[in-house]
A = this chain, B = another copy of it.
Amino acid sequence: MVATDAEPEQSTRDRILDIAMDLFIEQGFDKTSLREIADQLGFSKAAIYYHFQSKDEILLALHMRLHEFGRRAMERFGEAPATLEAWAMLLDGVIDEIFENRRLILMHQRNAAAFRLHHADEHDEANQDMEEQFRRVFSDPAVPLRDRVRMVAAVGTIMGGLVLSGDLLKDVPSEELADLIRDAIGDLLVSRPATRRSPRRRSR
């Protein structure tokens, strides 16, 4: 986010993707027409078709960006771990990169429906990306249910923080926010000391 705007040469293809990402975040994929994208680029709608075969291919390219990000972030860990300690370590390691790619992830989350339809076509080798690995651990019966809930809670905490930083806390520096989130995740994943709080009430 320290974007020096002296990017040496940004390809037209990348400019299209950047603008599309912004519009997809704000309006959603379906409500964003190619005309809008073209207008912001300063040229006509038909020109986009020189760089992409279809509107869907733009979405796919953005998905590849996330996939690539996930691949980089996960390559240090062979598999998504099944213990709370290792999970804490994993998230702690990737949270900075997650914040750096905030808008990409936000876009992906806000257009989950649109992406879902495309996943049907390409679940061939997509099972080595981050999301799929997470899914596998979350649904693994060998992992205690309590632990899985904690892992999901930690991910939900990060996602909540991302949304917060995007919509309401645009002025708060990412590092400060990331540290607070790290702290919260610690409370979720690191077992409490012997001291027990009052036993939880059973609902109903």
Which A residues fall within an 8 A CB radius of B?
26-31, 96, 110-114, 116-117, 135, 138-139, 145-146, 148-150, 152-153, 155-161, 163-164, 167-169, 172, 175-184, 186-188, 190, 192-193, 195, 197, 200, 202-204
A58 to chain B, nearest CB (A): 16
Q: Mind listing 12 A-B residue pairs with CB under 8 Å? A: A26-B113, A31-B117, A110-B112, A110-B113, A138-B168, A138-B169, A149-B181, A153-B157, A156-B157, A178-B203, A179-B200, A187-B188
Which residues in B have their C-beta under 8 angstroms from that of A27? 113, 117
Which residues in B have their C-beta under 8 angstroms from that of A172? 145
Which residues in B have their C-beta under 8 angstroms from that of A116? 26
Extra contacts, 6 of them, besides A110-B113, A139-B169 (Cβ < 8 A), are A28-B113, A145-B180, A149-B181, A153-B184, A159-B160, A188-B188
Which residues in B have their C-beta under 8 angstroms from that of A167? 135
In the bound complex, CA of A127 to CA of B178 (Å):
29
Chain copies in the assembled complex: 2
Which of B28, B183, B192 is the one whose CB lies under 8 Å from A30? B28
Which residues in B have their C-beta under 8 angstroms from that of A113? 26-28, 31, 110-111
Which residues in B have their C-beta under 8 angstroms from that of A169? 138-139
Question: Quick check: B179 and A203 within 8 Å, CB to CB?
Answer: yes
Closest to A186 in B: B197
